[in-house]
Amino acid sequence: MVLPSEPEFEQVLKEITTTLQPFLKRNPEYQRALDVVQIPERVIQFRVTWEDDKGKVQVNRGYRVQFNSAIGPYKGGLRLHPSVNLSILKFLGFEQIFKNALTGLNMGGGKGGSDFDPKGKSDNEIRKFCYAFMGELSRHIGQDTDVPAGDIGVGGREVAYLFGAYKKIRNEWSGILTGKGGDFGGSYIRPEATGYGLIYYVAKMLETQKELASFKGARVLVSGSGNVAQYAALKLIELGAIVLSLSDSTGALIARNEHEGFTTRDIEQIAEIKLKHQSLTSFNIQANANESRFVWHAGARPWTLVQNVDIALPCATQNEVSGEEATALIASGTKLVAEGSNMGCTLEAIEVFEVGRRTGKGIWYAPGKASNCGGVAVSGLEMAQNSARLKWTPEEVDNKLKNIMETAYANSYEVGKQYSSENLGEGALPSLVVGANIAGFVKVADAMRAQGDWW
């Protein structure tokens, strides 16, 4: 039987399958686990009809891919974007299985969403869509079954509408969604978690390698300008790094002076602009009204636009760093790349990084399933707080997040060192992508075998 083409899912499956080979050669019986785990336990597709402000009926496609529940209820975000399709959701859900395993919390993997575009819609239209969407989704989720969260296009407003709809439909208050408002079950540090967690992970990479002493004075490229990029940038600035770039779908904004990057106030202004669903061009006009601090590159990504770089953090969307751009990053002197986005680097880019890593003359690369697992980690902590009907302090949550990211790094590093069978050059470091994939896979596969999912 010929299956429909699913390029994003096929890409992530190839990446994971390739990096698992050193483990599978020593443990060939786990090939059967890989055959089983790559097929979702359940795929739900449904129609969403809603009424716009002109009284016209609109229709969208809704999805939930419940991929794996071996170590806990399905957990993963809901994405609202015109590009949403089954291939993208299967890729995200498959990654989510192993990402969630790396947090050490009891969460399975899933993903969902719709091809609905919230941009340009009124609050009333978004509310109507969310209620219609939850009208069907509520049949398939529950605090011990499947706990969605936000993703692209689903922020605090959308989560609140979805939570309100679920509460009305099911007549129950439960921790059915994470990323909720602080007054109705949300956790401190949840908005910051993915960005902060990314920096905590990179901090451990810095401790291991020898070329960069610390974040202080480090020149950092960040892509994206949404939640992940904003909080990663704020934490970088706090630690003394120089943030040289941000971007969105319209282009890239580059600091003109490599010694004077974005400020905390710049990030706050960008956050305000993004809340209004405006592009970075609005900030560029404001910022350069009286002083030319930034250079705008329409339709570009930041990776080829800066000559001297220490760290690159893709925080926008999938496949945002190509093989050619990876080569450009090496030429600019970049030492570390860590994904704040899911599958931010193409397979060609990862191969460029890994070849360089093996010789000790390239870039040390951290895959998103490890370096950006902080968001879902704090979602898991939100679930725990909801179950206990209590709320931890920001300091408690932040400390737990930091511990989770440091443990995820340690697992990726140690397993990567164990299975880096290639002849490493002097100064070479273990593969974090091999380590993360094997560590996450083995945890899930062992749970599946114990439960009789494969034998």
pLDDT mean by block of 10 residues, the chain; 455 residues: 78 94 96 98 98 98 98 97 96 96 97 95 97 98 96 93 98 96 95 97 95 94 96 98 96 93 95 87 71 89 97 95 97 96 93 85 92 97 96 97 98 93 68 96 98 97
Is residue 430 one of the residues assigned to a domain? no
Q: What Cα–Cα distance (Å) separates residue 36 from each residue in 68, 199, 323?
A: 10, 34, 31
Is residue 334 one of the residues assigned to a domain? yes
Quick one: which H or E segment has residue 221?
strand 219-222
- Please report, as a single letter, which amino acid is at residue 439: A
Do 156 and 208 sit in the same domain of this protein?
no
pLDDT tens digits for range 187-204 = 999 999 999 999 999 999
State which of 173, 205, 225 marks the end of a domain.
173
The CATH number linked to 292 is 3.40.50.720
Is residue 448 one of the residues assigned to a domain? no
Do 158 and 239 sit in the same domain of this protein?
no
- Please report, as a single letter, which amino acid is at residue 398: D
Do 160 and 220 sit in the same domain of this protein?
no
- Please report, as a single letter, which amino acid is at residue 123: D
Residues classed as catalytic: 111
Question: Which residues, including other chains, have CB under 8 Å from residue 187's CB and lie 6 or more apart?
Answer: 178, 378, 379, 381, 382, 385, 391, 392, 397
Residues 285, 283: Cα–Cα separation, whole Å: 5
pLDDT of residue 275: 82
Residues 277, 117: Cα–Cα separation, whole Å: 12
Burial class of 349 by CB neighbour count within 10 A (0 to 12, 13 to 18, 19+): buried
Half-sphere exposure of 187 (CA within 13 A, CB side): 31
Which pairs from 161-170 meet CB under 8 Å and 24+ separation? 161/126, 161/127, 161/130, 161/131, 162/78, 162/130, 162/133, 162/134, 162/137, 164/131, 165/130, 165/131, 165/133, 165/134, 165/135, 165/138, 166/134, 166/138, 166/141, 169/134, 169/135, 169/138, 170/138
| Dihedral, 121, 124, 125, 126 alpha carbons, nearest 10 | 80
DSSP string over 342-401 = TT-B-HHHHHHHHHHHHHTSS-EEE-HHHHTTHHHHHHHHHHHHHHHT----HHHHHHHH
Q: What Cα–Cα distance (Å) separates residue 320 from each residue in 37, 50, 108, 340, 341?
A: 27, 33, 27, 11, 9
Is residue 105 one of the residues assigned to a domain? yes
Is residue 20 one of the residues assigned to a domain? no
Do 254 and 140 sit in the same domain of this protein?
no
Question: Helix, strand or coil for residue 224?
Answer: coil
Residues 219, 240: Cα–Cα separation, whole Å: 10
State which of 125, 143, 173 marks the end of a domain.
173
Residues 279, 265: Cα–Cα separation, whole Å: 17
* Strands laid side by side in the 219-222 sheet: 294-298, 251-255, 242-248, 219-222, 311-313, 336-338, 364-366
Do 203 and 150 sit in the same domain of this protein?
no
Q: What are phi and psi of 94, to 5 degrees?
A: -65, -45
pLDDT of residue 1: 45
pLDDT of residue 424: 61
Do 228 and 360 sit in the same domain of this protein?
yes
Do 326 and 229 sit in the same domain of this protein?
yes
> CB–CB of 342/95 below 8 Å?
yes
Is residue 206 one of the residues assigned to a domain? yes
pLDDT of residue 291: 64
Is residue 443 one of the residues assigned to a domain? no
pLDDT of residue 132: 98
> CB–CB of 175/187 below 8 Å?
no
Residues 223, 297: Cα–Cα separation, whole Å: 13
Do 148 and 250 sit in the same domain of this protein?
no
Which ranges of 219-263 would DSSP assign to H, the alpha helix? 227-238
pLDDT of residue 34: 98
Do 90 and 121 sit in the same domain of this protein?
yes
Residues 279, 314: Cα–Cα separation, whole Å: 18
> CB–CB of 74/145 below 8 Å?
yes
Question: Helix, strand or coil for residue 312?
Answer: strand
Residues 304, 323: Cα–Cα separation, whole Å: 12
Residues 243, 45: Cα–Cα separation, whole Å: 41
Domains held by the chain: number = 2
State which of 342, 371, 400 marks the end of a domain.
371
Do 198 and 167 sit in the same domain of this protein?
no
Question: How many angstroms separate the most distant Cα atoms in the chain?
Answer: 68
The CATH number linked to 138 is 3.40.50.10860
DSSP string over 163-196 = HHHHHHHHT-----SSS--GGGTPPTTTTTHHHH
Domain ranges, residue 339: 193-371
The pair of structure tokens assigned to 250 is 């319209």
Residues 215, 194: Cα–Cα separation, whole Å: 18
Burial class of 51 by CB neighbour count within 10 A (0 to 12, 13 to 18, 19+): middle
Is residue 15 one of the residues assigned to a domain? no
pLDDT tens digits for range 116-130 = 999 889 999 999 999
Do 65 and 142 sit in the same domain of this protein?
yes
pLDDT of residue 274: 87
Do 205 and 350 sit in the same domain of this protein?
yes
Residues 17, 22: Cα–Cα separation, whole Å: 10
Q: What are phi and psi of 139, to 5 degrees?
A: -70, -20
> CB–CB of 362/353 below 8 Å?
yes
Pairing mode of beta strands 109-114, 57-68:
antiparallel
